[in-house]
Amino acid sequence: MIETAIIIPLLAGFLGIVIGLVIRKSGHQNSDNIEKQITEIGRQHAELTGRLKSFTQAQEDARGQLNRNLAERLDNVSKTVTDNLKESGEKTSKTLTNIGERLSTIDKAQQQIATLSGQVVELQQVLDNKQARGAFGETQLADIVKDGLPESAYDFQFTLSNGKRADCIIRLPKPPGPVVIDSKFPLEAYQSFRRSKDEKEAQLALKQMQSDTLKHAQDIASKYILQNETAEAALMFLPSESIFSEIHLRLPQVIEKCRSLRVYPVSPNTMSLTLNTVRAIMRDVQMREQADLIQKEVETLLIDINRLMNRVGKLRSHFDQASKDIDLIEKSTNKIGNRSEKISDLDLSNHEKIKDTNVLPDSN
């Protein structure tokens, strides 16, 4: 915007140029006309100057208003920016807090994963060792049996008459008699089957699994099924649900062969169900034993009742005889009383009357 101090001199110079041109052009005119023209020009100059001042003042007012508007808008913008920055800062702080909490949760989860990984490695080391794997199966079997049966119903590492030691024996009454449970873990063949890359390797692994499982079943049948000592069947405990499922799904002939040997494979889940059945059998046996005991007690009670009734009958006969004796005694007493009254009424001076009153005594 051009300043007023610059515009006014420019207008004055421009007006002087115009006046000079008018004088030069009107030199032949008279002086009156020139003065009129100069006067008119002065008037126009004054009017132009006034308008210019008004315009300048309007510009100053507009510029002041513009500055005020700009200042107000800058304040609003500054306040808005400040509020937005504060809100953004709070959101950022809250987000960072949430991120920190999530990172803490992730860190805990990583620690748990690391712990689980270590446990998996330890478990794998246990399973890779045959002796440790056997101990693992026996421990799992012991935990299931302890949870399912009372302590008096089982024994671990029980030695039979043939010198063979069973992992567990369930003390069932005859029939069927004590049931032997032996833990077996055909893991190598199962792992080979899981790692097989084609059908040929899978079939070889299944064949090995079949051979191992049947070998275990034959060993159990020959060692732990003894006539007149154990039940006619035994249980083969497989500590893995996966192995149990694969044998049932892919090797049904193995299950049939085991049943023909009277050896029944069980998994942890089916073992728990089997123990529920065993517990029901034990309760039934206990109820039968209690029923026999109750029957004997009832028979004894009946004998005692009969004896009591006989004794009551005898006592009643004694009471009846005593009652009869009491009646006789009362009669004799009444007669004695009557005679005493008669005697007291007699005149002792009248000897004849005394004779007349003498009678024989009552036989009663």
Domains of the chain, earliest start first: 131-287 (3.40.1350)
Position 220 scores a pLDDT of 92
Position 315 scores a pLDDT of 80
Is the per-residue pLDDT at 279 higher than 50? yes
The answer to whether the CB of 168 falls within 8 A of the CB of 145 is yes
The better pLDDT of the pair 221, 68 is held by 221
The better pLDDT of the pair 149, 291 is held by 149
- Name the pLDDT band for 209 (thresholds 50, 70, 90): confident
Q: How many CB atoms lie within 10 A of CB 342?
A: 11
Position 359 scores a pLDDT of 47
- Average pLDDT estimate for 45-49: 75
Q: Which distant-in-sequence residues (6+ apart) come within 8 Å of 284 by Cβ?
A: none
Is the per-residue pLDDT at 242 higher than 90? no
Is the per-residue pLDDT at 257 higher than 90? yes
Position 195 scores a pLDDT of 82
Segment 48-80, tens digit of pLDDT: 777 777 777 877 888 888 888 888 888 888 888
Position 12 scores a pLDDT of 57
- Name the pLDDT band for 350 (thresholds 50, 70, 90): low
Report the range of poorest mean pLDDT among 30-44, 178-192, 321-335.
Answer: 30-44
Segment 96-142, tens digit of pLDDT: 888 888 888 887 777 777 666 555 444 454 445 555 556 777 888 88
Position 217 scores a pLDDT of 92
Separation CA 222–CA 70 (nearest Å): 105
- Omega before residue 361 within 30° of 0, cis: no
Report the range of poorest mean pLDDT among 116-120, 202-206, 263-267.
Answer: 116-120
- Omega before residue 178 within 30° of 0, cis: no
Separation CA 296–CA 301 (nearest Å): 8
The answer to whether the CB of 136 falls within 8 A of the CB of 126 is yes
Return the residue matching tokens 């002041």. Answer: 64
Task: Choose the most confident range, by mean pLDDT, from 39-43, 92-96, 125-129.
Answer: 92-96
Backbone angles phi, psi at 154, to 5 degrees: -150, 165
Position 123 scores a pLDDT of 46
Position 22 scores a pLDDT of 53
User: Considering the entire predicted model, what is its pTM?
Assistant: 0.47
pLDDT above 90: percentage of residues in the chain? 12
- Name the pLDDT band for 258 (thresholds 50, 70, 90): very high
Report the range of poorest mean pLDDT among 175-179, 290-294, 319-323.
Answer: 290-294
